[in-house]
Amino acid sequence: MRSVTFPNLCKVCLETLWINLLKDLDFVDNIKESCKKGHTSTLKVLELDLLPLANLRKIPIVPKEAYTITWEKDGQVLSQFTNKTRAEIEDAKSLGVYTIYVKFSTEEVRLESPSVQKYSHHKVTMLCHES
């Protein structure tokens, strides 16, 4: 059995450790929904709370890490919100089901694994003026 108390794991062991640790985690901790007055209209705001990895770490680490975020509404990609944790949508057009795909990548994991890509759904059922 490999000792994990030493800081120098082989690359394969480290990659396996990452994959096993990530398999039961959801990168999206919470999705907050709120309203905001824009310049000309009211906006529905959806904001992700992600696990503090990649650029969200308080203290950066040496191996490069990144989150890749893709937003969809009713199956249509919302490219203007790619790699953003916050989406501001015109309130009148905000009703629907949002799917947010979050992929975590690190130099320490070279394999494509379902453990590093997760998705969350959020349904907007009310306009701002109805709440």
pLDDT, position 5: 55
17 assigned to some structural domain: no
Domain total of the chain = 1
As a whole number of angstroms, the distance between CA 110 and CA 96 comes to: 35
As a whole number of angstroms, the distance between CA 62 and CA 88 comes to: 33
pTM confidence score: 0.86
Does the pLDDT at position 38 exceed 80? no
Residues 24-53 have a mean pLDDT of 93
Phi, psi of 45 (to 5 degrees): -115, 125
79 assigned to some structural domain: yes
Looking at per-residue pLDDT, the higher value among 120 and 25 belongs to 120
68 assigned to some structural domain: yes
Domain limits for position 81: 27-130
For position 118, which CATH number holds?
2.60.40.10
Q: How many CB atoms lie within 10 A of CB 81?
A: 20
Q: What is the pLDDT of residues 44-96, one digit of tens each?
A: 999 999 999 888 888 888 889 999 999 999 999 999 999 999 999 999 999 99
106 assigned to some structural domain: yes
